[in-house]
């Protein structure tokens, strides 16, 4: 009953009202339809033009110019050059038939564009397309001829315009590639300075807004782009060129020697201003082309790397390089290995270049005076290990200075024992070993897990650490700390950039040298310099071959066996400074597994010869006066290299007596030191009587057949300057060798 009652309320009157409402709505829709038809009929072209204009002109991004990277002298290392994209406006070119053929002919003759495809595109899109990219990133010289034709009076070339953007270019190609880095396609820095200073170098894009006025003419409003700032580096392009020349020369001399591949797994060099922390040059080999960083030709000679990041026994050559293109993961795994900066990214056991640090820690802490003498019998029993000296025949009684000069492992082990584990660890931290230097480059390795602490170091670890085995470091860590050893103890933060400059050329920021701490006293520093000078100048020094003609320098050689122990593969190095009496620059060269037989790989001369060649050119360029009289042979050598002889020779008669040579045995001498008057008269070293191998020039031990360095007595290929125990020396982490 209720439902019937409700239904009865929907009366005929209401039904009529509903019909009237429906008819009114229908009339409204009919009116709108007619209005749309009228707009299309009377103003269709105008609105069509507005819609088409929005495809291109509604909003346009204006690119900024990325800031340049300059060397210390203002030479350009990286810059952004304006390039042009060729844009086709199919609607404009179709406005008149007479525009088509002259425009297509100009595209073909001046820009080399396939006009067949362009003709087809215009025919299919002549009423809708105003933006089609025909060619990208052309330089101005490539479009200049087209522009001249287009700008001629009564020219019929229409519908083509040029969109501006910037392309990153590197004038030096491979020069300083590890330092500079490169940019991705979207203008973001990768590696090196490009990545570290990306925010500084990047600018702000501009915007261009387009609209049509009442007369349907295009109007524009522009917010200009803000270009990025530039950076002035501490790199001297001339020194950088010298360094890279000799790293390449080393590779050319030793590539495909003992095995297929480059002259060494890696070769690195850093030159630093001793008194500011400024990096004057930094390079490693192999290199890559910054303008074409993904070119696999630069990988030739490198070892293949497996999925775990370990090298295999196979090397990349022209026959197998195509395999990299078949696997994108493999492709980028090898490119990333190429792009790494060995000087800051890779870690290794430094070997005997760390011996001056051991001595400095002992003297500065008061654990030794530096005048002690210790007896080397060719090895020292520590814990359960017989740890060998590089001279297995024994050096006899040596002062600490002589221990550094001859690179005696036993001598350094006694120094470390006198210092003790807590103090030794303390000074490793003072020298910043295990920590980042905070150099302004992307990718610096932190080696905290690759050094010992008080809880993890035992007596054997202390012994092997004393001569640079058992812990890992990077090149930048070692040379930065070494500079503090020889400059009076002042630890400067290493840096690559000295100034930030605005697009207008105004200085935005000066980056001054920063002294972070004093590692040792000036007195200790002077003693360390005296000892390191003997490495090059002393009668039994291991670094004679590092001395450039006309100069006396100081430094330390280094050799360390890589993991696994007993593989007969070594990292050899030399870290030095010049001049010897007033250090101004420091140099560090590391050769990681030179491509020579394992029987002679552990020879620091592979590094010292590179140092000598580099300093022979760098020191005169820096205006550093010669300190030694030139021999006729040296003079001829410099003249052949066209190197200016800076000054008449300055010589000093005689040399200061080495500390401890008087046989005095001061208090504080630890176990193993000879008591006063107990040393035997010096005897001719046994290896001096060994026959020479005519091919290599090494002495040969008649009893073992091993090669022996005729200058130092170091046995090659079985023992080494960094030392070797009867069992593998413990290391903090298997990642010690990259």
For 20-51, what is each residue's pLDDT tens digit?
888 888 888 888 887 777 776 666 555 555 55
End-to-end C-alpha distance for the chain, whole angstroms: 94
| Residue 652, pLDDT above cutoff 70 | no
CATH classification number, 60-233, choose in 3.50.50.60, 3.40.50.620, 3.90.1310.10, 3.30.930.10: 3.90.1310.10
- 646 has a pLDDT exceeding 80: no
Q: Residue 636: enclosing H or E segment and its boundaries? A: helix 632-640
Q: How far apart are CA 359 and CA 530, in angstroms?
A: 12
pLDDT reported for residue 43: 62
Q: How confident is the model at residue 667 (pLDDT cuts 50, 70, 90)?
A: very low
Task: Give the residue among 571, 605, 575 at the shortest CA–CA distance from 589.
Answer: 575
Instruction: Determine the average pLDDT of the residues in 715-727.
Output: 46
Residue 388 tokens read as 């060998």
Average pLDDT over residues 241-267: 96
Query: What local confidence, expressed as pLDDT, does residue 666 receive?
Result: 32
Q: Which residue, chain included where needed, has tokens 């040969």? A: 700
Structural contact between residues 558 and 352, judged by C-beta atoms closer than 8 angstroms: yes
| Residue 563 or residue 6, greater confidence | 563
Which residues, other chains included, contact 575 with Cβ-Cβ below 8 Å and sequence gap of 6+?
A: 353, 478, 479, 482, 555, 556, 558, 586, 587, 588, 589
Q: How many CB atoms lie within 10 A of CB 38?
A: 10
Lowest-confidence pick of 109-113, 321-325, 498-502, 727-731? 727-731
- For the whole prediction, is pTM greater than 0.85? no
Q: How many CB atoms lie within 10 A of CB 450?
A: 23
Look at residue 431 in the predicted model and tell me its pLDDT. 97
Reported as a pLDDT band with limits 50, 70 and 90, residue 585 is very high
Pairing of strands 230-233, 69-70: parallel
Instruction: Summarize pLDDT for 139-166 with one digit per residue, the tens.
Output: 999 999 999 999 998 899 999 989 899 9
- Tell me the CATH number of domain 344-497+511-736, given options 3.40.50.1110, 3.40.50.300, 3.40.710.10, 3.40.30.10: 3.40.710.10
DSSP 517-539: EE-S-HHHHHHHHHHHHHHHHST
Confidence band for 639, pLDDT divided at 50, 70 and 90: confident
The structural domains of the chain, with segments of one domain joined by +, span 60-233, 344-497+511-736
Residue 385's pLDDT band, with cuts at 50, 70 and 90, is confident
Q: What's the CA gap between 106 and 85, in Å, rounded?
A: 16
Tokens representing residue 462 in the block: 């202390």
State yes or no: pLDDT of 350 exceeds 70: yes
Query: What is the average pLDDT across 514-524?
Result: 97
CB 614 within 8 A of CB 243: yes
Q: Is the dihedral of CA 317, 322, 325, 326 positive or negative?
A: negative
Average pLDDT, the chain: 86
Which strand (E) or helix (H) includes residue 381?
A: strand 379-382
Q: DSSP class of residue 585? A: E
Output the pLDDT for position 685.
Answer: 67
């Amino acid at each position: 009953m209720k439902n019937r009652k409700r239904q009865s309320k929907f009366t005929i009157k209401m039904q009529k009202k509903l019909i009237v409402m429906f008819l009114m709505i229908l009339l409204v829709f009919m009116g709108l339809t007619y209005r749309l038809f009228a707009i299309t009929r009377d103003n269709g072209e105008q609105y069509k033009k507005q819609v088409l204009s929005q495809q291109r002109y509604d909003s346009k991004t204006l690119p900024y110019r990325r800031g340049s990277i300059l060397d210390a002298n203002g030479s350009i290392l990286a810059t952004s050059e304006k390039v042009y994209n060729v844009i086709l406006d199919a609607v404009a070119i179709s406005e008149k038939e007479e525009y088509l053929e002259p425009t297509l002919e100009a595209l073909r003759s001046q820009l080399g564009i396939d006009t067949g495809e362009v003709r087809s595109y215009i025919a299919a899109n002549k009423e809708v397309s105003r933006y089609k990219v025909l060619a990208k990133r052309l330089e101005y010289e490539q479009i200049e001829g087209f522009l001249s034709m287009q700008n001629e009076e009564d020219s019929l070339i229409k519908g083509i315009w040029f969109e501006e953007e910037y392309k990153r270019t590197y004038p030096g190609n491979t020069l300083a590639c590890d330092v500079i880095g490169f940019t991705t396609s979207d203008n973001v820095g990768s590696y090196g300075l490009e990545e570290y200073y990306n925010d500084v170098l990047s600018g702000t894009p501009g915007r261009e807004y387009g609209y049509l006025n009442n007369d349907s003419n295009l109007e524009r409003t522009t917010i200009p782009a803000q270009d990025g700032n530039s950076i002035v580096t501490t790199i001297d392009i001339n020194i950088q060129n010298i360094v890279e020349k000799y790293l390449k020369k080393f590779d050319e001399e030793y590539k495909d020697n003992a095995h297929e591949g480059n002259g060494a797994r890696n070769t690195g060099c850093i030159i630093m201003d001793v008194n500011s922390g400024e990096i004057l040059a930094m390079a490693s080999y192999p290199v890559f082309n910054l303008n074409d960083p993904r070119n696999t030709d630069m990988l030739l000679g490198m070892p293949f790397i497996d999925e775990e990041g370990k090298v295999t026994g196979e090397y990349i050559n022209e026959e197998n390089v195509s395999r990299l293109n078949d696997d994108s993961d493999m492709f980028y795994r090898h490119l990333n290995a190429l792009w790494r900066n060995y000087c800051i990214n890779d870690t290794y056991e430094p070997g005997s270049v760390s011996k001056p640090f051991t001595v400095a820690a002992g003297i500065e802490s008061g654990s030794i005076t530096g005048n002690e003498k210790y007896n080397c019998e060719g090895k020292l029993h520590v814990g359960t290990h017989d740890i060998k000296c590089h001279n297995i025949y024994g050096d006899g009684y040596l002062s600490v200075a002589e221990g550094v000069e001859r690179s005696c492992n036993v001598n350094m082990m006694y120094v470390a024992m006198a210092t003790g584990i807590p103090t030794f660890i303390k000074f490793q931290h003072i020298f910043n070993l295990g920590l980042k230097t905070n150099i302004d480059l992307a990718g610096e390795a932190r080696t905290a897990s690759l050094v010992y602490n008080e809880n993890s170091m035992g007596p054997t670890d202390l012994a092997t650490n004393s001569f640079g085995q058992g812990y890992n470091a990077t090149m930048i860590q070692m040379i930065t700390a070494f500079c503090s050893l020889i400059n009076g103890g002042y630890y400067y933060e290493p840096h690559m950039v000295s100034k930030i400059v605005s697009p207008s050329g105004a200085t935005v920021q000066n980056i001054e040298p920063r002294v972070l701490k004093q590692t040792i006293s000036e007195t200790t520093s002077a003693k360390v310099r005296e000892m390191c000078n003997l490495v090059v100048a002393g009668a039994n020094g291991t670094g004679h071959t590092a001395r450039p003609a006309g100069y006396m320098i100081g430094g330390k050689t280094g050799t360390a066996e890589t993991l696994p122990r007993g593989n007969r593969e070594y990292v050899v190095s030399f870290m030095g400074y010049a001049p010897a009496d007033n250090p101004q620059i420091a140099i560090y060269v590391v050769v990681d597994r030179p491509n020579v037989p394992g029987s002679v790989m552990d020879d620091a001369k592979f590094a010292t010869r590179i140092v000598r060649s580099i300093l022979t050119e760098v020191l005169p360029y820096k205006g550093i006066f010669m300190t030694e009289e030139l021999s006729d042979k040296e003079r001829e050598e410099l003249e052949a290299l066209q190197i200016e002889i800076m000054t008449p020779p300055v010589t000093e008669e005689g040399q200061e007596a080495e500390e401890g040579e008087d046989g005095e045995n001061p208090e504080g001498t630890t176990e193993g030191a000879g008591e006063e008057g107990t040393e035997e008269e010096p005897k001719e070293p046994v290896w001096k009587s060994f026959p020479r191998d005519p091919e290599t020039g090494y002495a040969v031990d008649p009893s073992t057949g091993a090669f022996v360095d005729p200058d130092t007595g170091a046995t090659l290929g079985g023992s080494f300057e960094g030392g070797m125990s009867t069992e593998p020396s413990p290391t903090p982490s298997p990642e010690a060798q990259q």
